[in-house]
Amino acid sequence: MIRKFLILLVGSLLTATNTFSQLTYLTRTTPENEGLHSKDVLNFVDNIMKQKDTDIHGVMVLRNGKVVAEKYNEPFAQEYSHTLYSCSKTFTGVAVGLAVEDSLLTINDSIVKFFPELPLDSLSDTLQVVTVRDLLTMQLGIPVDTKMRTIENEWAKAYLSKSFVALPGTLYAYDSIDSYLLSAIVQRVTGKTIFEYLKERIFTPMGITQVAWEESPEGVSCGGWGLYMQLESMAKFGQLILQKGVWNGQQLVSSEWIDEMCKHQSTNTNGQMYGYHIWVMNYPGVVKCDGAYGQYIYIIPDKNMVVAITQCMRGNGNLENSEMWNLSRSATNQKLPPSNEYNTLLAARYRLAPTKGKAFSNKHLMPVKLDLGTNKLGWKSVEFEFGKQNLTTEPTLKLKVRTENSKKFNLVCTYQKWHTNEIKGYPLNLRPFLNNFSNIKGPFYAASSYGWTTDDDLYVRIHYVNWLSSCRLHFRFRDGVVQAEILTSETTKSVGIITSVKR
């Protein structure tokens, strides 16, 4: 990570295209205006960005509903949406609350009433007593099955036909299909997907326009995962919870439901507390939306703070928790005098390290075309085109890609910095699910850089900047043979040779 001085050109972002017009909806101000020291905020962001075993993508800190810090790790940027994984669950919890408020269901309703297609003679006595509340608290009593959603087309029926291992309401088991069932129930009582329902009741009133949600083969918003939005929209949602469901003076969600959501309702085997689809922290009043790979929205009521983080984490996230409390403890209720540290905070720039190595190989300068075997990228062939070796041309490597479905695009890779390209196709960890999910349309963008570590070893690093995942490609030139490998990080081993071609 590198920190450099760079004034954020917020004004230019205000004139962005309509696609990104929802940006800078929230007021930006200095930490001192909201009772925080810029130095403390900068230390928080610095320490988060330096975390091992992760790539932080974006961090936003709100105090009193205003943005006091907003930083992105280049090549990630303010305008890019991000997949939220299980942060999506809390949005589902809010959708259930809206349906309760509309008198369309209660938390004590038996869930089988919402699935009349299930044959009554096959329903177990246990299934008939499962309630909406059991789903909200992750206490259904059916074993977790993460593979079912990749092989079944009727998720609700397949899941509810499984055997119970515990009585409903007695055993916590964190399962995204519980959230999916809630999504299906809300859809059945409203006639709308929860995505459509939330767009009408929450997203549109809050100015959240760039948002999508993955759907199942049944046409149901996935509920437990699959929500896709910008960092600022995540922070706004956290602020809505902090404000007990009020936005711009309008009560979008009942305060009573927010209170119930954020209460300790169940406990997992590690002693962690859970509400209605939101985590209840050990710190009094603090709750957290938590998604895989470290997508977080922290809501800290007694400090009137919200912190949103997107990342691709391979560690355990403990640093976020400890640094969060260090920052929140420093907050005061008084406006502080202006500080020169604010200019340092404003100018701080962060960048994920580009690919190491040199710009050119002394041995392999001619274009090379490789026909690829089946691979996780979905590429059928790739052709190299190297930039010229002279002092006036920036070193570049262009990968001319043809995909499995015959689409073509250029992945331009720059040397010692990032270049962002629109790609034809999908990010690495989304592709395996394309036959099971839909409604995430793209376009997707990939930032890339390259470097030769030896005259025979070419590396390309790719970050999918409006998704989450990244990978490295290693092209090995040996004795007239080119081998290509996909590596998922700087430290992991190859996940397979994708080609071995005689030149």
The string of pLDDT tens digits covering residues 256-285 is 999 999 999 999 989 999 999 999 999 889
pLDDT category of residue 19 using cuts at 50, 70 and 90:
very low
Cis peptide before 168 (omega within 30 of 0): no
DSSP secondary structure, 398-461, as one string: EEEEEETTS-EEEEEEEESS-EEEEESS--TTTGGGTTT-B-----EEEEEEEEEEETTEEEEE
Q: Give start and end residues of each alpha helix (H) in 280-436.
A: 318-329, 341-347
Do 438 and 341 lie in a common domain? no
- Say yes or no: 41 and 107 in one domain: no
CA-CA-CA-CA torsion sign (210, 216, 221, 223): negative
Comparing 415 with 480, the larger pLDDT belongs to: 415
pLDDT in tens, 236-249: 999 999 999 999 99
State the chain's mean pLDDT as an integer.
88
**Percent of residues, the chain, with pLDDT higher than 70:** 88
Please identify, among 317, 352, 387, the residue that sits at the C-terminal boundary of a domain.
Answer: 352
Cβ atoms 463, 452 nearer than 8 A: no
235 falls within a domain: no
In a domain, 92, yes or no: yes
For the residues 2-20, what does the mean pLDDT come to?
A: 33
d(CA 38, CA 68): 9
The whole-number pLDDT of residue 369 equals: 85
| CATH code of residue 137 | 3.40.710.10
Q: Has residue 364 been placed in a domain?
A: no
pLDDT given at position 151: 75
Are 161 and 289 found together in one domain?
no
Q: Is 85's pLDDT higher than 70? A: yes
**Residue 490 confidence (pLDDT) above 60:** no
Residues 268 and 287 in one domain: no
Residues 268 and 317 in one domain: no
Q: Identify the pLDDT of residue 255.
A: 98
pLDDT at position 437, please? 64
Q: What is the mean pLDDT of residues 63-68?
A: 98
Task: Judge if 57 and 104 occupy the same domain.
Answer: no
Residues 419 and 335 in one domain: no
Asked whether residue 52 falls in the same domain as residue 139, the answer is no
**pLDDT over 90 at 498, yes or no:** no
Residue 191 lies in a domain: yes
User: How many domains are contained in the chain?
Assistant: 3
If pLDDT is split at 50, 70 and 90, which confidence band does 147 have? confident
Residue 238 lies in a domain: no
| Confidence class for position 10, pLDDT limits 50, 70, 90 | very low
Task: Specify the pLDDT at position 365.
Answer: 67
> How much is the pLDDT for 489?
58
Q: What's the mean pLDDT in 306-332?
A: 83
**How many other CB atoms are there within 10 angstroms of residue 375's CB atom?**
18
Residue 6 lies in a domain: yes
pLDDT for position 113: 93
Residue range of the domain that includes 216: 84-230+248-279
Q: Are 118 and 142 in contact (CB under 8 A)?
A: no
Name the least confident of 367-381, 432-446, 463-477.
432-446
Mean pLDDT of 418-429: 88
pTM over 0.85: yes
Whether 287 and 341 map to the same domain: the answer is: yes
Angle in degrees, 0-180, between the axes of helices 231-242 and 88-101, rounded to the nearest 10: 40
Query: In angstroms, rounded to a whole number, what is the distance separating the alpha carbons of residues 164 and 81?
Result: 38
Q: Does 440 share its domain with 477? A: yes
76 shares a domain with 118? no
The reply to whether 211 falls in a domain is: yes
Residue 428 sits in a domain whose CATH number is: 2.40.128
**Predicted pLDDT of residue 148:** 80
